[in-house]
Amino acid sequence: MDPNDGELILPSIAADEAAPFYRDFLAAFPDGHVGFHLQAQISDLNALCAGLSDSEAMFRYAEGKWTIKEVVGHLLDTERVFAYRLLRISRNDSTTLPGFDETRYVPEGQFNDRRIGDLLTEFRHQRASTIALAKGIPQVAWPRVGTANGFRTSARALVYIILGHTAHHCRVLQERYRLPAR
């Protein structure tokens, strides 16, 4: 992080700093300006869902797939889990952190009973919390490694995972749910 501008900048992540299935997430933001991208994704998600009515946000592109509301709810759940892992690992907590089953979390969240606007507002607040957490992490803590979901994971990798996960689902909302980029 450059103390002159307050922007969070992290170096690229080595492949061994997270589970192999996160490789694409780790490589998705090679410029290192993670603070900028974390902030920009709030607008990106809002733009994708702009103007959707609650009934339109109940769309699912195929039987058994999540609705748009459930995708946003999944982003909320996942960001909370990953931010918690970031907190624990950056604080040098060596406790092995469990995984979570998003296929069980989404139905339990009952996101379809909520308004899409409320879910987007909650995402904005959650992301602001994630950004505040990340900006407050000391430089010495970024390379720290812990175990999450059975895999070695660095604190800095978790920021890239959060970014990559959100970018992935924004692409899914565009490609499969046919939401227009604005």
9-28 tens-digit pLDDT: 999 898 899 999 999 999 99
Band of the pLDDT at 6, cuts 50, 70, 90? low
User: Is 111 in contact with 119 (CB distance < 8 Å)?
Assistant: yes
Band of the pLDDT at 108, cuts 50, 70, 90? very high
Q: 10 Å Cβ neighbour count for 144?
A: 18
Q: Is the pLDDT of residue 3 over 50?
A: no
**Which residues, other chains included, contact 103 with Cβ-Cβ below 8 Å and sequence gap of 6+?**
none
- The predicted model scores a pTM of 0.95
Distance between CA atoms of residues 134 and 47, nearest Å: 24
Q: Is the dihedral of CA 93, 2, 20, 164 positive or negative?
A: positive
Long-range contacts from 7-13, C-beta under 8 angstroms, 24+ separation? 7/33, 7/35, 7/36, 8/33, 8/34, 8/35, 8/38, 8/131, 8/134, 8/135, 8/159, 9/33, 9/34, 9/35, 10/34, 10/142, 10/156, 10/159, 10/160, 11/156, 13/154, 13/156, 13/157, 13/160
Residues 115-160: pLDDT tens digits? 999 999 999 999 999 999 999 999 999 999 999 999 999 999 999 9
Task: Specify the pLDDT at position 12.
Answer: 87
The pLDDT mean for the chain works out to 95
Q: Show me where the domains of the chain are located.
A: 29-175
Tell me which of 1.20.120.450, 2.60.40.10, 3.40.50.280, 1.10.3720.10 is the CATH number of domain 29-175.
1.20.120.450
